[in-house]
């Protein structure tokens, strides 16, 4: 939603504790007494969020105002075809599916010294942008990887609704990584990305084939020509863990139900010379095509 300049000005006045500003904020009222952040602030926040959260860069974000229910997805392996001028156009091989989607609430409470609020040199917008991006970005990334689907999104490593386990190995070897990659359908290898933590990446950097050739391309930090993304929320290499995922992460959908919303707590922390900010968003996350992301499990 594109907020008005009038609302944007009132919002920041309210954030700085000017009570009279709330009378001009009706267009952004949300539940629980909060206010949706202005659209220009939201754009800056989303850019900062992408720096903290790999899924905000790779996944597909769907914005909707519906609180819950099902979303319709369509996947296709069809391509356009050359046909004669009067010939019938062949139907594509489209697959339609309904996926239940919910409105999970992710929230945080931050505090800031009141004297900062009155300092004209202090950029409240810059502070809140970075603070919220750090808190929400990391929590989202963890859920999009490890989420159980109960009161939180379903992560790609979840046994139900996550990616497909392509192979199980006792350790990471050159051959096991090659096998994992080619377990992906060729249509998903085109935009494939590797996902792992730093420890796993360190091991893969040392792997060589029987001729001494490295698996990892040290010139451009790719594996088999595909970029590597890092997340500290991917498991370490240990028995029963899934340390590596590879695939087309655009098939992971972030369903944004409500953008970031803020409520100011001015009185509660005033004895401490502080102002509180309750912030929350409502969203869900689903992998709509399990075979688009393949996983390697350690035996």
Domain CATH for 216:
3.30.2320.10
Cα dist from 175 to 112, 130, 192, 209, 298, whole Å: 52, 42, 18, 8, 14
Model pLDDT, residue 84? 92
- Tally of residues, the chain: 299
CA dihedral sign, ordered 51, 54, 56, 58:
positive
What's the structural domain count of the chain? 2
pLDDT at 36: 93
Statement to judge: residues 173 and 258 lie in one domain? no
Regarding whether 262 and 174 lie in a shared domain, the answer is no
In this structure, are 170 and 265 located in the same domain?
A: no
Q: How far apart, in Å, are the Cα atoms of 262 and each of 30, 102, 193, 268?
A: 9, 21, 34, 15
What is the token pair recorded at 78?
């069809």
**b/e code 44-60 from CB counts within 10 Å (16+ = b):** bbbebbeebbbbbebbe
Q: Is residue 177 part of a domain?
A: yes
In this structure, the answer to whether residues 10 and 131 fall within a common structural domain is: yes
CB 258 within 8 A of CB 29: no
- Residue 205 structural domain: 164-250+292-298
Residues 244 and 198 in one domain: yes
Q: Scan for tokens 């539940």, then name that residue.
A: 31
**CA distance linking residue 76 with residue 62, whole number of Å:** 19
Residues 135 and 236 in one domain: no
Q: Are residues 149 and 61 in the same domain?
A: yes
CATH of residue 109's domain is 3.30.2400.20
In a shared domain, residues 125 and 270: yes
Tell me, yes or no, whether 32 and 109 share the same domain.
yes
For residues 122 and 113, the answer to whether their CB atoms sit within 8 Å is no
Q: Is 261 found in the same domain as 143?
A: yes
Spatial contact of 168 and 179, defined as CB atoms under 8 Å apart? no
CA distances from 104 to 5, 24, 34, 285 (A): 30, 29, 16, 9
Unique residue bearing structure tokens 């790609």? 156
Encode 190-205 in three state secondary structure: CCCEEEECHHHHHHHH
- Give yes or no for a contact between 134 and 127, defined as CB atoms under 8 angstroms apart: no
* 95 contact partners, CB below 8 Å, separation of at least 6: 74, 75, 76
Same domain, 246 and 261: no
For the chain, how big is the Rg over CA atoms in Å? 23
Q: Are residues 63 and 127 in the same domain?
A: yes
How many Cβ atoms from other residues are within 10 Å of residue 19's Cβ?
10
User: What is the per-residue pLDDT for 66?
Assistant: 67
pLDDT along the chain (299 residues), means of 10: 90 88 90 87 95 97 77 77 90 80 93 81 89 96 97 97 95 96 96 98 96 95 97 97 98 93 90 92 95 97
Check: CB of residue 279 under 8 Å from CB of residue 261: yes
């Amino acid at each position: 939603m594109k907020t008005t300049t009038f609302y944007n000005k009132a919002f920041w006045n309210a954030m700085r504790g000017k009570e009279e500003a709330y009378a001009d904020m009706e267009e952004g009222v949300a539940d629980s007494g909060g206010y949706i952040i202005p659209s220009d602030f939201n754009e800056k926040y989303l850019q900062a969020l992408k720096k903290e959260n790999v899924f905000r860069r790779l996944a597909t974000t769907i914005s909707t105002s519906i609180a819950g229910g099902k979303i319709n997805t369509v996947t296709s392996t069809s391509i356009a075809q050359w046909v004669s001028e009067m010939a019938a156009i062949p139907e594509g091989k489209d697959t339609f599916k309904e996926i239940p989607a919910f409105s999970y609430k992710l929230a945080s409470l931050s505090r800031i010294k009141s004297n900062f609020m009155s300092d004209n040199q202090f950029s409240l917008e810059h502070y809140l942008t970075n603070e919220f991006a750090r808190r929400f970005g990391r929590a989202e990334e963890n859920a999009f990887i490890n989420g159980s689907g109960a009161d939180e999104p379903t992560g790609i490593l979840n046994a139900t609704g996550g990616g497909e386990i392509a192979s199980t190995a006792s350790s990471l070897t050159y051959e096991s990584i090659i096998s994992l990659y080619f377990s992906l359908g060729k249509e998903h290898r085109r935009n494939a990305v590797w996902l792992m933590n730093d420890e796993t990446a360190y091991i893969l950097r040392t792997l060589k084939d029987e001729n001494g050739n490295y698996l990892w391309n040290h010139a451009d930090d790719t594996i088999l020509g595909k970029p590597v993304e890092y997340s500290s929320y991917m498991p370490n290499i240990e028995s029963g863990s899934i340390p590596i995922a590879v695939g087309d992460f655009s098939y992971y959908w972030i369903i944004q139900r409500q953008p970031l919303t803020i409520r100011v707590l001015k009185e509660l922390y005033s004895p401490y010379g502080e102002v509180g900010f309750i912030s929350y968003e409502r969203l869900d996350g689903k992998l709509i095509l399990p075979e688009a992301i393949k996983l390697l499990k350690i035996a």
